Chains A and B, each alone.
Chain A
């Protein structure tokens, strides 16, 4: 019997999943609450006890973890032009599973530097300029960072031609030089930076977060949780040497404070006459909407679509809707236990999904020319994606899940937004995607088989719910 224990250290919970590799089955799972004040170790012990009650006393060959504890991997990022190197750097950091606390462009100002020190990021990613391109701004920023007293590791991934000079300026700092995130205009090279982020995460940050004590108990903390999610989704889409994946997909992780969207798809234009604009898109892409969530991120949803639309969708009158906004503001841990707040949450979730998928998916603009219509596409065309995976507590327990997920689909009212035209909905009912991402490092075939089994089609999910 080869059993593996997979652990996800979250910011509010620790979640365990026990799997048997030979049979590719989930033996059991458990969660325990952890807060900033409780030791992660306590949470782990409690969760272990709970799991033991389900699985019995079993021996684990390995215990592997991912972590978004203590606020996740917090990064600050700077680039030159907002739509170019700054965006490339953000995309690199997000794909590595980091939380981009702040994104800067052009020269860092005094107040930017003060803010950076207050944010106290765990990694600073410094970019700007194509190779041989602008060097003035990145060197200026390197100089400012050097003098700022910032202690965290700095990754330099900007203009190659200025790297030596930057290293000189940042002498004495914990600096690594990586290949440029944008070596040529419009060309992305984010894998090396992502690898370096992971290395730093493992080497330094796990220790700094007090996870190293735990490291002695388990075999290893492998990666930040969002990266585990991205790995799981990529594996599910593409498969392994031995087993095919299910093809292109999009995944939605709706949380209390933020909404993460993943897409595993090439996303190139479906019509030959379309011209591509903007940066090339990563095949496995993650976006995070920091202002869209069910509780802390509630006001972002209200700001974007307005109370009128939300109250109409919830079929609550405006006063009732506002009452629940206030209630959630006062107590963000409020659960949807009665009918009115369920209606409220339905409207919020639907609009959160609509906004976040709309921002993630590409856009198609029409140009009228004397010759007819011409199209320009920015971002990924996801219209041919046929699977949407739902995860996160706010979705997997939602009573009207199908209706909520329908907001992730192409909307004829918004023809320029390239969301999937139609899709099967899969539900991560046991909440095991991050665990499978971790397991994919060790045994991708088993991880894939478990996901295929355990991700439930929404139709059968609804019947059971």
Chain B
């Protein structure tokens, strides 16, 4: 089967470069095709890259606290660009300071993100949900539903 394509990057004027590299390697290791746009990526760059690479998911990272502003309107732009069905995740330190995660999650989901990841979520959790959402889990895995129990992990509805 064809590999699934992910477009990842750190949005806005954010220069935290370490986490996204780790995700790039972890996702590739897990069998995904990964386009890492690096740091200081605009919404438009995420969308353009997803179109050219025919991506299955866009993963937006934000660490410096301005995430909520930076991602505003992104889902609408993706819809406009013909990416209506694309899976969108956001994670990192997406808001300023420590706020109750359930509320943060709600706000980002309202903005059209399919999943919202809490600070410090390990890559295995991300990979689990990616596989699940992209229909890559095999029968056994799905039945056992060995969902890693990370603190504030993926956050199901």
Contact = CB atoms under 8 A, between A and B. Distances in A.
**Size bracket, chain B contacts:** 20 to 34
Nearest to B45: A277
Nearest to A367: B13
Interface residues of A, number: 25
Contacts of B37: 185-186
Interface of A: 80-81, 83-85, 128-130, 132-136, 182, 184-186, 275, 277, 367-370, 374, 376
B52 A275 contact: no
B48 A184 contact: no
Interface of B: 2-3, 5, 7, 13, 15, 33, 35, 37-40, 44-45, 48-49, 51-55, 64
A277 B5 CA distance: 21
A275 B53 contact: no
B38 to A, nearest CB: 7
B137 to A, nearest CB: 23
A129 B7 CA distance: 14
A132 B35 CA distance: 12
Contacts, number: 62
A393 B87 CA distance: 56
Given A275-B40, A367-B40, 4 more contacts: A133-B54, A184-B35, A185-B35, A370-B64
A80 B51 CA distance: 8
B49 A185 contact: yes
A81 B48 contact: yes
B24 to A, nearest CB: 13
Nearest to A371: B15
Nearest to B5: A133
A376 B41 CA distance: 10
B3 to A, nearest CB: 8
Contact of B48 (A83, A367, A376): A83
B64 A81 contact: no
Contacts of B64: 369-370
Contact of A85 (B3, B15, B52): B52
Contacts of B51: 80-81, 84, 134
A135 B49 CA distance: 14
